[in-house]
Amino acid sequence: MDGAVKGHKKQHLIDPEICIRCNTCEATCPIGAVTHDDVNYVVDAEKCDACLDCISPCPTGAIDNWRVVAAPYSLEEQFGWLELPGQEELGPAAVVAEDALEADVGQLLAAAHAGAGGKAVAPASADKPQINLFRRSKPAMATVQGNFRITGADTESDVRHIVLGFGETQFPVLEGQSIGVVPPVTDPDGREHPVRLYSIASARDGEKRNANNIALTVKRVPGGLVSDWLCNLKVGDKVAVTGPFGATFLMPDDANANILMICTGTGSAPFRGFTERRRRAAPGGPGKLVMYFGARTPEELPYFGPLQKVPRSLLEQHLVFSRVPGAAKEYVQDRMRLHGESVARLLMQDATYIYICGLKGMESGVEEALADIARKHGLDWGRIKPVMRSQGRYHVETY
Ligand code: FAD
């Protein structure tokens, strides 16, 4: 571990006061790191690799507890707990170690995927992704090859298409994966900020084919540290990149797959990658690509201009706006209801995959629309969804 302070580790712990002893965590853990006695469920620090598979199935949140420790709590100590100990005072020099910061990426992804309502599973046909090839102690150094504004110049929403080249460094990615961007500065106390995740907006073989580069879609967040810095970068500037990350929110590698993509804002990034992959690998289908994409106005919808040039035979587009002067507000779920019959037809097919990506909070409206559409067409979304999820056909990534 090459962290700022060697010896400190982020330990995964279970809160005994909240845990209802339902055994879900122990049953979920793929490596047997969770165990129990008559009193407590506990995590073995020697085994736990912070894969986070146990986090979203836990019905109470008792499982999602972390302490930065110089020496991990033993199983015996944890068995004896009536309550979780607080975070130890680490002293000014005890900066959170690198492993702890890396574990944050897993937590970010777990939180982003929580809207799927259970353990995320990759599509069966998806290629095997490579993950965690580059860490913050040894990031891949990328060079900015382009930085273009893709929302109207007069709008408040500044979203950028940023192209990063990796030169001689191999940085293999699949559509749907994310990268980490290492913040360029430390905090006022000299501590490192956690990396920020950005979805890859290009196909696996590059923004430009075989050019060893990727594209990102980055929204400048007012007061945001990394997005603001990224959006200001010039061609030739360097970016320290970690990852790639993400082993489940992946595109099926199957030309028969119907892919229903529902997004807002920068949630469109992975779908740009999906569309480009289909265009390059299997432009004739037979699987359909269908996108419901919401923004306030056309000017604020990232890639509005380029999307007009994408053939409808490749991508069925529903661009939906909520703030066009003189027009009624419309959200993605409204448009999905309007096309309920064709959405229901997709729901009936085993070859259909659903992906929801964008702002946290969009899931509930979309879920309700899917449930309504299903009901209206004699289907039961409550039964369809868990089946789709367990087969890697229902995915949520919101942040
Ligand atoms: P931060 O510095 O993290 O700040 C975020 C907000 O908090 C700002 O509004 C800021 O003003 C406020 N804030 C910060 N510090 C304080 C403070 N001390 N007190 C009060 N308020 C404060 N984003 C994209 O643009 N494109 C993507 O493709 C994308 N993909 C993502 C994929 C995943 C899986 C996840 C989890 C996130 C993704 N994000 C994406 C979001 C991205 O990772 C960042 O969260 C986002 O860019 C904001 O980071 P930032 O450093 O600019 O803002």
115-155 residue pLDDT tens: 898 888 999 999 999 988 998 888 999 999 999 999 999 99
pLDDT digits (tens, 9 = 90+) for 233-272: 999 999 999 999 999 999 999 999 999 999 999 999 999 9
Whose CA is closest to atom 30 on ligand 1? 198
Whose CA is closest to atom 44 on ligand 1? 196
Cα maximum dimension of the chain: 66
pLDDT digits (tens, 9 = 90+) for 147-167: 999 999 999 999 999 999 999
CA of residue 227 to ligand 1 center, whole Å: 7
Helices (H), the chain: 24-28, 75-79, 98-113, 226-232, 269-281, 304-308, 332-338, 340-347, 362-376, 381-390
For a pLDDT cut of 70, what percent of the chain falls above it? 94
Instruction: Classify residue 47 as left (phi > 0), alpha (psi -120 to 50) or beta.
Output: alpha
- State mean pLDDT over 80-84: 92
Q: Supply angle C-alpha 82, 86, 88, rounded to 5.
A: 130
Whose CA is closest to atom 24 on ligand 1? 218
Residue listed under structure tokens 């999905």: 336
Two structure tokens written together for 257:
């797959």
Instruction: Classify residue 243 as left (phi > 0), alpha (psi -120 to 50) or beta.
Output: left
CA of residue 221 to ligand 1 center, whole Å: 7
